[in-house]
Structure 1
Amino acid sequence: MGYIVFAIVLILIHFGLWKLFVKAGRKGWESLVPIYREYVITKITGHPAWWVALLLIPIVNIFIFYGLYLDLVKCFGKRRFWEYAAMVLLPFVVLPWWGNDPKVVYLGQSFSAEFKEKYPYKKSVAREWADAIVFAVVAATLIRGFLIEAYMIPTGSMEKSLLVGDFLFVSKLNYGPRIPMTPVAFPFAHHTMPIVGGKAYWEGIKIGYKRLPGFQDIERNDVVVFNYPMEADAPFNRPIDKRENYIKRAVGMPGDTISLRGANLYVNGEPGFKPPHSQMDYYVYTDGTGLNPQRLTDMRIDYNPYAREPYQLFLTDEAYEEVKGWANVTKIVPNIRHQDTHEPGIFPSNSLYHWNIDNFGPLVIPKQGWTVTLDSLTLPLYGRVIRVYEGNELESRSDGVYINGAKADSYTFKMNYYWMMGDNRHNSEDARTWGFVPEDHIVGKALFVWLSWDEKGTFFDKIRWNRIFMGIK
């Protein structure tokens, strides 16, 4: 249905442009040829022809595109605010309307000095403010969508590498800006309307996954912001780019084999990256005198407030060494699951795989072009990828596996996938819970902390000054 609506919109827009081109003394067919059409618009409006070259520059091309088309309708006397707004939001309505209206005639090149002198137009104060606000909203939306976006750390899954209350800048340019897949949306709202609630986007127009060229590919152990893949399911059923933003470390690349043994990460059989500020949870035993909660708070040590002897503390290696040296601490035991312990809710949530958060895998991460054999062992691992992320109908029948109605004994993946884990290995909902992250869910690369706000601090030390402008590693 969405493709039909999109096709109708395109037909109406081009029909209107054909009519306006004819009114301007050009050939109607010229309105149908991309790039050449914009070159003709520079002739109709009086813009320099080299403006067409600016359409090849990302971000700049958006401003040039709208500038050309707004000046085009200005050539026909359309320059009131509602007319500009309609041209941007409803071109499939106003272009055919103006093209067929005999009262709408070509007045001349709107960008020329002669036109401005012959048809002067003084904006009201309200119009000046409206134009400024619209420009600011459009510019901020483009910057947020294609260049850089602010993001706040809401949970402790990346402690202590990233702290709750850290405000980050996330670059869209490093991996390449993703073209908005659900382009009609309320400005600055991600998926839910502020105050009133409800969807902040319209799914009538959808664009397939496309990404502009970036500066780099995702590298192993990058800190990455991505859309939470499980919101493809009920009750959310959200489009890809409107799913909640998560931030984790990409510890596994496409084609890697991931495993955990005794809470230690292995990638392709070799020890994986251990972040210098990552933390694990430990059971801490004392001589009976207990631990002072205020001391733990002052040291910024997270702990389970409901646990008593043994205490459950989340410690970095540095904090571990300090707590171990306390006079009343008799023993510290890491809270590591046994390799034979099956933990509910761990990917792939299948009785064939008795994995837990500390002992997991080995598991191969799908790579574009990789072909996997389909059987009872691989379907629990890759069935969701085939069905949900790559959009196929997958069915297991008595005589075998069927994909899109055809019997299949193997499947070749269309996209790359990543394995995302939090640095706080025992307090992180990550890939061990929900599996792979498809490349079309990748939002951007975390660059640096521009503000860090500590809710637990006093009034005078809520801002963590030592973290401001801290690069993310």
Structure 2
Amino acid sequence: MNPTERKSPWRRIVRNAAGTALVIAALALWMPYFVRAFVCDQFVVPSESMLPTLIPGDRILVNKLIAGARIYRSFDFAEGAPLRSFRLPGLRKVRVNDVVVFNVPHGYDRDRIEFRINYVYAKRCVGTPGDSVSIRNGYLRNNRHEGPVGDRERQRQLAETPDSAIPPTVLRAMPFDDSLFGWTIRNLGPLYVPRAGAKIALDLRNFRLYKPLVEYETGGSLSFDGRTARLDGKPLADYVFRKNYYFFCGDNVPNSKDSRYWGFAPEEFIIGVVKRISYSEEPVSGRRRPERRWKKVE
């Protein structure tokens, strides 16, 4: 046996150790990105819209395994670019009363659904695909859910606030048509939450309610000439939805920008379900709130 052959086992050991070290280093580098993309991500709560469940400064953990992680097919996130993605199999569907983080479907133009990657809200799910939701004197209702929806104490506060004490721009609710609906954040609906495969007649009322959804799904322009709905100029008597939608509200119903104003959120806009607060800080002082560390969100 020559000297080279005697040293070869050690060289193999060194090479294997170096390879293992590189694999470990690569895993350590990419693991945080893998976890954020497929398992869990963290967001900061900036507003009071989810009081008392969430408060400004809470760091909320969003579980992506429940509904399934959203995987992008395209990374073109320019304004107006469509969302191209698919969803991995999840543990279950989003349910009524889940606290959900999602991309807000409307920006400055309430009549158009657009995807903006860094514009996200945390709200409570009030309606799932196929449900009918309503608000009666400030209290949230769902026709397929037994029991309370959202925070009843905040809803009681809204119920006891007269319309005259609420600014009109805050009081009026979607679809902002007083002649046909006259809906407000205190009294709204019943309103059907679209489910993929469901068919609706495109009369004047449904045109006002679902125009942004039809245009979002088809990429066309929907109009109503007084008697007939037209999609890109062609008559359209009824419409079959291609996607599932959700209706979200903040627990702080007297002061929350939510589906009562901008309507429905497409299922593909959902990021995940909030299950825990990792930690919380006072927004101004930065003081930690130990009582909220690892608090369960219900």
The RMSD of aligned alpha carbons is: 3.6
2:290 partner amino acid: W
Q: Is 1:420 the counterpart of 2:245 in the alignment?
A: no
Task: Give the letter for the 2:253 counterpart.
Answer: R
| Higher fraction of strand | 2
Q: What does residue 141 of structure 2 align with?
A: 266
| Secondary structure class of the residue paired with 1:273 | coil
| 1:126-141 matched pairs, under 5 angstroms | 138-141=30-33
Residue 128 (structure 2) pairs with residue 253 (structure 1)? yes
How has the CA–CA distance of structure 1 residues 277 and 237 changed in structure 2, closer, same or farther, with 3 Å as cutoff? Answer: closer
For residues 136 and 83 of structure 2, the distance between their equivalents in structure 1, rounded to whole angstroms, comes to 42
1:137 Cα deviation (Å)? 5.5
Of the three residues 19, 30, 43, the one matched with 1:151 is 43
Structure 1 runs not aligned, ≥5 long: 1-112, 185-190, 192-198, 283-313, 315-332
Flag the 1:471–1:145 CA change in 2: closer, same or farther, 3 A: same
Provide the residue aligned with 1:368 in structure 2: 196
Query: In the alignment, which of 45, 54, 59 is matched to residue 162 of structure 1?
Result: 54
8 Å CA contact 1:175–1:213 kept in 2: the answer is yes
Alignment partner of 1:446 is 2:274: yes
| CA displacement 1:325-353 (0-9 Å, x = unmatched) | xxxxxxxx931438xx9766521112322
- Report the counterpart of residue 174 of structure 1 in structure 2: 66
Tell me if structure 2 keeps the 8 A contact 1:251–1:273: no
Which residue number in structure 1 is paired with residue 4 of structure 2? none
Tell me the equivalent position of 2:163: 337
User: Max radius of gyration: which structure?
Assistant: 1
Looking at structure 2, the residues matched to 455 and 179 of structure 1 have their Cα atoms a distance apart, in angstroms, of 32
CA–CA distance in structure 2, aligned partners of residues 271 and 432 of structure 1: 21
- Which of the pair has the greater relative contact order for Cα pairs under 8 Å at 6+ separation? 2
Secondary structure of residue in 1 paired with 2:61: strand
TM-aligned CA deviation for residue 233 of structure 1: 4.6
Counterpart contact for 1:262–1:337, Cα < 8 Å: no
Distance 1:419-1:336 versus aligned 2 partners, 3 A rule: farther
2:293 alignment counterpart = 468
Name the amino acid aligned to 1:401.
A
User: 3-state DSSP class of the match of 2:224?
Assistant: strand
1:221·1:251 contact (CA, 8 Å) conserved in 2? yes
Give the total of aligned pairs: 277
Change (3 A) 1:262 1:233: closer
Q: Secondary structure at the match of 2:36?
A: helix
Deviations 1:6-49 (A, max 9, x none): xxxxxxxxxxxxxxxxxxxxxxxxxxxxxxxxxxxxxxxxxxxx
Unaligned runs of 5+ in 2: 1-7
Match of 1:5 in 2: none
Query: Which structure 2 residues correspond to residues 82-231 of structure 1 after superposition, within 5 A?
Result: 138-183=30-75, 208-231=84-107
TM-score (norm 1): 0.52
The CA distance in 2 between the partners of 1:370 and 1:450, in whole Å, is: 39
Work out whether residues 61 and 278 of structure 2, in 8 Å CA contact, stay in contact via their aligned partners in 1.
Answer: yes
Rounded Cα–Cα distance in structure 2 between residues aligned with 1:138 and 1:453:
28
Identity of aligned residues (%): 29
Q: Deviations over 1:84-125 (max 9, x none)?
A: xxxxxxxxxxxxxxxxxxxxxxxxxxxxx9xx98xx9xx9xx
Following superposition, the deviation at residue 160 of structure 1 comes to: 0.3
- 1:349 paired with 2:176, answer yes
TM-score (normalised: structure 2): 0.79
3-state SS in 1 of match to 2:213: helix
Q: CA separation of 1:136/1:423 partners in 2, compared to 1, >3 Å: closer, same or farther?
A: same
Partner of 1:56: none
- Distance between the aligned counterparts of 2:168 and 2:116, measured in 1? 34
Which string of whole-angstrom CA distances, capped at 9 and with x for unpartnered residues, describes residues 257-310 of structure 1?
11111111121187752445853585xxxxxxxxxxxxxxxxxxxxxxxxxxxx
The residue type paired with residue 161 of structure 2 is N
**By percentage of residues, which structure has more helix?**
1
Change (3 A) 1:255 1:182: same
Q: Hey, what's the Cα distance between the residues in 2 that align with 1:245 and 1:137? A: 27
Over 3 Å counting, the alpha-carbon distance change for 1:391 and 1:246 in structure 2 is same
